[in-house]
Amino acid sequence: MTPECGSCKDLAADYQTITTAENLAGRKLKFAYVDASTDEGKAFMAEHTGDVEIEFTPTILMYGKDKSAPIAYDGLYKHDPINEFICNYCDV
Domain chopping of the chain, boundaries: 6-90
Evaluate whether 33 touches 15 at the Cβ level (below 8 Å).
yes
Evaluate whether 28 touches 10 at the Cβ level (below 8 Å).
no
Specify the pLDDT at position 48.
82
Per-residue pLDDT of the chain (92 residues; tens, 9 = 90+): 777 888 888 888 888 888 888 888 888 888 888 888 899 988 988 888 877 888 888 888 888 877 778 888 999 888 899 999 988 887 64
The pTM for the full model equals 0.78
Specify the pLDDT at position 81.
92
